[in-house]
Chain A
Amino acid sequence: MLTCKEQVAHSSDFLDGQLTFRERLMMRHHLMFCPNCRRFIRQMRLMQATLRLMPQAPVQDADALAERLAAERRKDQ
């Protein structure tokens, strides 16, 4: 049986699909019996989704850069 500490240590690999079949079973087994670790994994997923959704800084001077690149391309033709 995994300890909670080991569960946390393996959590990223679990979320990224990097565990072996056996490790994944051990993880699922632990989660089945441990509400604290279920909460931890659920909140890790929530944290991932939050990062994905976080607005990114808009690109500075996208218009000027696009103009320069398009001109560069036309020059090459």
Chain B
Amino acid sequence: MAAADDAHLLERLLKGEQRAYKELVTQYQSAMRAVAYAIVGQRHADEVVQDAWLSVVRNLAKFEGRSSLKTWLLTITANAAKGRYKQNRREVLLDDLPSPHGTIGDERFTPDDGHWAVAPFAWHQDTPEALLTEDELRKCLEHTLLNLSELQSSVLVLRERQGLELEEICNLLTLSLSNVRVLLHRARLKVFATVEHFEETGEC
């Protein structure tokens, strides 16, 4: 959202206009939840988002527009998460859970020269709109996202759905760039494997 839009929304928020809060909640809560989910996990994510909202309202007058509103909201959420649940910080950062349809792993390549042993299957659809018309595939993707580790799925959601830069993700989640890259890559290959499986077999 452009800075001018941020400023206009902010003005209405400061006046306490309920419709402005509805816009804010509708637009940003998913991203805030993804940040909370990454730091404190499923069990506490909703509480953290509630805390963050209160903190947002209390600090609204201090927002100076040096970052975008979105970045500011996500930073408050990350701080709320870290402050309240420091002890819950995920220990195993790079835990890699098995995915419903596997991944693009070593077995897809020939051991001697690293060529494809099983080449990528050509998908029937070539636009996201066409892929998403398949209800079954959508459910299948949701299922795969739920089966990623909390960090993998949050990093993927923040990058692909929320369009954050890698550096922003590093700062919010206090992860190194190389960890974010590994998490993102593993998550993508699993989602890729799900779409490929669906396109090949027509079922989840």
Chain A residues with a Cβ under 8 A of chain B:
3-6, 8-9, 11-13, 16, 18, 36-37, 39-40, 43-44, 46-57, 59, 62-63, 65-67, 69-74, 76-77
Total interface residues on B, CB under 8 Å, equals 57
Give the chain A neighbours of B195 by CB distance below 8 A: 43, 46-47, 50
Question: Min CB distance, B147 to chain A, in Å?
Answer: 15
How would you classify the secondary structure of chain B's contact residues: helix, strand, loop or mixed? helix
A53 and B132 CA atoms in complex are apart in Å by 8
**Given contact pairs A52-B128, A72-B54, A76-B58, A43 touches B161 in the complex (Cβ within 8 A):** no
Given A43-B120, A59-B29, A4:B115 Cβ within 8 A: yes
The one of B19, B56, B119, B128 that contacts A49, using a Cβ cutoff of 8 Å: B128
Sample (10) of A-B pairs whose CB atoms are under 8 Å apart: A16-B159, A36-B116, A39-B119, A43-B195, A53-B132, A56-B161, A57-B30, A67-B18, A76-B57, A76-B58
Say whether chain A's binding surface is mostly helix, strand, loop, or mixed.
helix
